[in-house]
Structure 1
Amino acid sequence: MTDTTETDKTGIGRMLPILLIGTVAVAGAFTLKDYLTFQALADNREALLAFRDSNYVGTVLGFIVIYTLIVAFSLPGAMIATLTGGFLFATFPGALFNMTAATLGATAIFMAARWGFGEKLGAKLEASDGMVKKIKDGIDENQWSMLFLIRLVPAVPFFVANLVPSFLEVPLRRFMISTFFGIIPGSVVYTSVGAGLGAVFERGETPNLGIIFEPQIIGPIIGLCVLAALPILIKAVRGKQGL
């Protein structure tokens, strides 16, 4: 009886981080949607620039902490945070700050999900038979390629790309490296958009957030996706040929 009770408590305790993230995400979706917006950035731009000019290091640290929390708790406004990074700090080092914060936030979700149920699910997949085991083995053999691929493809939601690796026993170090470098293209594109917000504000316009899907932008990203997928395709062909 005692062992069962202790196991239940341990199970509930392990689920607390991911439950906390889910609770804050839902609450934030209702309470923060009017604050983390482009209009809020436009209305407070002068105050933000003045604070940055008077305390640059504090602004950088505060920005990274806030952006990390936005990603870690899946709060609305991640895109606005990326634009803000460019607006306050230019394309560089703004992109570096954005990538650092996004990686830290993604790692928090990854660890919470793994702590809660990722290890058990990974063990079940490993012990399974048939097609499920083959799929997991295929992902395990091509982890680097798969991790970069889900980061590069714009259609894959960032939250999903954080959760899936936690279920597949991906090492933490590998997850962090692939996240940081995999989000470079998108981060640089949107940070550069943020860097040009001064002129956008003066014209009373809104930025083109669909820029990443324009041919001159999406073309190179698709090329990177192909490169990331190439090792998978080569292994698949060799496997069929028995090489």
Structure 2
Amino acid sequence: MTQPQLPIAQWRQRLPIIIILLVAILGAVVLREYLSFDALRDNRAALIAFRDSNYLLTAAAFVLAYIAIVSFSLPGATAATLTGGFLFGVFPGAAFNIIAATIGAVLIFLAVRAGFGRSMAAKIDASDGRVKRMTQAIRANEFPVLFSLRLMPVLPFFVMNVIPALIGVRISVFAATTFLGIMPGGIIYTWVGAGLGDVFARDETPDLGIIFEPHILGPLLGLAALSLLPTILKSLRGKERDV
């Protein structure tokens, strides 16, 4: 028995996510060595020279390249963040990094939602079980939940772009929580990138684990917990009313 074919309209809806997957696979194979810290170190003099001669063009090309890295889930997002700090300093480097990462995340969110999100959200709503209850809980507290997950990336960045699209999170909430949630980490890694000149001079590698230092991780955890406090209090009040 043959399987029913998808209508042409559905194939068109899924075409963006298919393209993203194909480019991601190709990029993982072809571009990995070019989108790395080693590539930045080896080409730093040429990059600085080009930036000094064509600042606006360099800034525009960097932002577009960063958007492509995120939207196509290519390797090298961390190296790109360091490059933003290295070429443009903490500011405007952090602004370039955060804005580009947010735009890239929104693009992949839209692609997933167009291809699978609406049908998946409808299936979840029509189901009955733990997945539906979890989805409804997230939808009821979209902003604090997504914001806290962005602050403390317990899930990979790509996964955090896909799951909200599949469960029907509003795009305005997704964009806002992404922009605000990645801001602390983005500033920290941009700051690390801004100091790469001294790191290169000492022939060392940057400390990418700095975000896990207690004096940095502690405030981030506190902010994440604070963002979830209204959700926790609302849940506790609901339980009290049920008793």
Taking structure 2 as the reference length, what is the TM-score of the superposition?
A: 0.95
Which letter maps to 1:88? Answer: L
- Where do residues 123-134 of structure 1 align in structure 2 (5 Å cutoff)? 123-134=122-133
Report whether the alignment pairs 1:182 with 2:167.
Answer: no
Instruction: Note if contact 1:91-1:191 (Cα within 8 Å) is conserved in structure 2.
Output: yes
Partner SS for 1:191: helix
Partner Cα separation in structure 2 for residue 27 and residue 165 of structure 1: 25
Instruction: Note if contact 1:200-1:206 (Cα within 8 Å) is conserved in structure 2.
Output: yes
Partner SS for 1:22: helix
Taking structure 1 as the reference length, what is the TM-score of the superposition?
A: 0.95
Match for residue 40 of structure 1?
Answer: 39
Instruction: Note if contact 1:83-1:193 (Cα within 8 Å) is conserved in structure 2.
Output: yes
Partner SS for 1:211: helix
Match for residue 210 of structure 1?
Answer: 209
Match for residue 66 of structure 1?
Answer: 65
Partner SS for 1:174: helix
Query: 4+ residue stretches of structure 1 with deviation over 4 A?
Result: none
Partner SS for 2:208: coil
Moved more, 221-230 or 75-84: 221-230
Shift of 1:128: 2.1
Which letter maps to 1:218? Answer: L
Instruction: Note if contact 1:82-1:190 (Cα within 8 Å) is conserved in structure 2.
Output: yes
- Where do residues 107-186 of structure 1 align in structure 2 (5 Å cutoff)? 107-186=106-185
Instruction: Note if contact 1:151-1:179 (Cα within 8 Å) is conserved in structure 2.
Output: yes
Shift of 1:235: 1.4
Partner Cα separation in structure 2 for residue 177 and residue 158 of structure 1: 15
Partner Cα separation in structure 1 for residue 197 and residue 181 of structure 2: 28
Match for residue 235 of structure 1?
Answer: 234
Match for residue 55 of structure 1?
Answer: 54
| Alignment RMSD | 1.3
Partner SS for 1:242: helix
Match for residue 74 of structure 2?
Answer: 75
Percent identity, aligned pairs only, is 53
- Where do residues 187-202 of structure 1 align in structure 2 (5 Å cutoff)? 187-202=186-201
Which letter maps to 2:178? Answer: T
Which letter maps to 1:60? Answer: A
Measured against aligned partners, the alpha-carbon deviations of 1:21-64 in whole angstroms (never above 9, x if no partner) come to: 11111111111111111111011111111111111111111000
Match for residue 221 of structure 1?
Answer: 220
List gaps (5 residues or longer) in structure 2. Answer: none
Partner Cα separation in structure 2 for residue 106 and residue 175 of structure 1: 9
